[in-house]
Amino acid sequence: MTLKELVSLLEADVLFGERHLDDEFRCVSASDLMSDVLAFGVPGVVILTGLPNTQSICTADIVEAKAVVYVRGKRPDREGILLAQERDIPILSTKFFMYKACGLLYSRSIEGVEKTSNEYADSMVNSRNFSRVFKIKGGNFSKAGSASIETKEILRELGVDPVIVRRAAIVAYEAEMNVVMYADNGEMVITVNPDAIRIRLQDQGPGIKDIDAAMQEGFSTASDEIREMGFGAGMGLPNIKKNADVFELTTTVGKGTCYKIVIYLDSRGRT
């Protein structure tokens, strides 16, 4: 189905991206939980959501979504529209509720997303050594995701395989969001060499009281405010673990948490 056909089916307004209306999309992810979209979204997906903030745009950029459709007549604010324009992500708004929008798409045999796609094999990449440091401020939701998006662009420019770029972007985004949501501040170091991408993040914050519990899907200590933003569903650390080849987590309650993550540029660690 093309985006033009989607606009007609959902009687949607095009808020940005008219030049992309002839583009085709692969499937649909319908959720207000952006961590779920990160966990199960695939390149070329259309995201249906009632979450009209910049994080829905950041998430769309990370998973390489074809477009974002806001249900119930919702529309992003000016900051969200500007970000969509900057990232060249089409955004639409439909008056239909999520249930009806999904039903209409299902009636046209448009598939949903059930699990992360593994259609492409990881491959060896010839890249130069590279390192970048990002400072992350806790509570700064207007800038949340910017380090991860920049990381994704850097990896693309280095010629890293698109599947590995996507895994690294998801890992960086979840780690970055954990700082924004829970810590005072943090520093994320991205290093690329010919064999692997390494991500090290050290934050200054409350630490994690029970790592085993925190690694379980659905466990969360997020506030209601964070949940209203589409996060805090207990998918952050499991998403990191799923997309990393090596994931080491150390924490001290009352001081902070350190993430050490490795994603290999060849197929090791992926069976």
Beta bridge partners of 250: 258
pLDDT at 145: 87
8 Å CB contact between 82 and 105: no
Residue type, 197: I
Close Cβ partners of 18 (under 8 Å, ≥ 6 residues apart) = 90
State whether residue 74 is helix, strand or coil. coil
pTM over 0.85: no
pLDDT at 115: 41
Per residue of the chain (271 residues), what is the pLDDT tens digit? 999 999 999 999 999 999 999 999 989 999 998 888 887 888 899 999 999 988 899 999 988 899 999 999 999 988 889 999 999 999 999 999 999 999 999 999 888 876 434 333 333 334 457 788 899 999 888 888 888 988 898 888 888 899 999 999 999 999 998 999 899 999 999 999 888 999 999 999 999 988 888 888 888 777 777 777 676 666 889 999 999 999 999 999 999 999 999 999 975 545 4
How many angstroms separate the CA atoms of 82 and 76, rounded? 10
Map out the domains of the chain with their CATH numbers: 3-107 (3.40.1390.20), 130-264 (3.30.565.10)
Close Cβ partners of 223 (under 8 Å, ≥ 6 residues apart) = 232
Q: Which of 75, 95, 79, 96 minimizes the C-alpha distance to 87? A: 79
**Over the range 177-207, which residues count as b (16 or more CB within 10 Å of their CB) and which as e?**
bbbbbbbebbebebebeeebbbbbbbbebbb
How many angstroms separate the CA atoms of 177 and 87, rounded? 19
Write out the E strands in 45-119.
Answer: 45-49, 67-70, 91-93
How many angstroms separate the CA atoms of 69 and 92, rounded? 5
